[in-house]
Amino acid sequence: MMDDPLEQRLLRLKAGDVVLYPSNTLHSVAPVVSGQRLAVVGWITSWVRGPARREVLYDLDVATQETFNALGKTPAFDRLLKAKSDLCRMWAEG
């Protein structure tokens, strides 16, 4: 079970599935009723600080892909890709 800002979400995973979520997300697991549960715990750190900046980069990535898929390599695609790359360089730490 995971709590997000909108609701509690019940996740039912298959063997080998993975869930990634922000470290401030409250979560819980149900007891194992048959078999066994093996878990791997790890952390990922973004080079871009702040979820708002990461969301801007994600939106630019989606727009860039959609532009390329619809029109191919065009000046508009090149501008979107350049803007995303410039922001990545400006915001990345490390």
Neighbours of 76 (CB within 10 A): 14
Residues contacting 1, CB < 8 A, separation 6+: 8, 9, 10, 11, 27, 28, 29, 30
Query: Is it the case that residue 81 has pLDDT exceeding 90?
Result: yes
pLDDT in tens, 27-75: 888 898 998 888 888 988 899 999 899 999 999 999 999 999 999 999 9
Decide: pTM greater than 0.85: no
Whether 27 is covered by a domain: the verdict is: no
Whether 31 is covered by a domain: the verdict is: no
pLDDT for the residue 62: 96
Query: Is it the case that residue 5 has pLDDT exceeding 80?
Result: no
pLDDT for the residue 59: 95
Q: Which two tokens stand for residue 61?
A: 């990535």
pLDDT in tens, 6-18: 888 888 888 889 8
Whether 62 is covered by a domain: the verdict is: yes
Domain range holding 63?
Answer: 51-91
Whether 43 is covered by a domain: the verdict is: no
Query: Is it the case that residue 23 has pLDDT exceeding 90?
Result: no
Whether 45 is covered by a domain: the verdict is: no
Burial 80-90 (b: 16+ CB within 10 A, else e): bbeebeeeeee
Q: How many CA atoms lie within 13 A of 18 on its CB side?
A: 5
What domain count does the chain have?
A: 1
Whether 59 is covered by a domain: the verdict is: yes
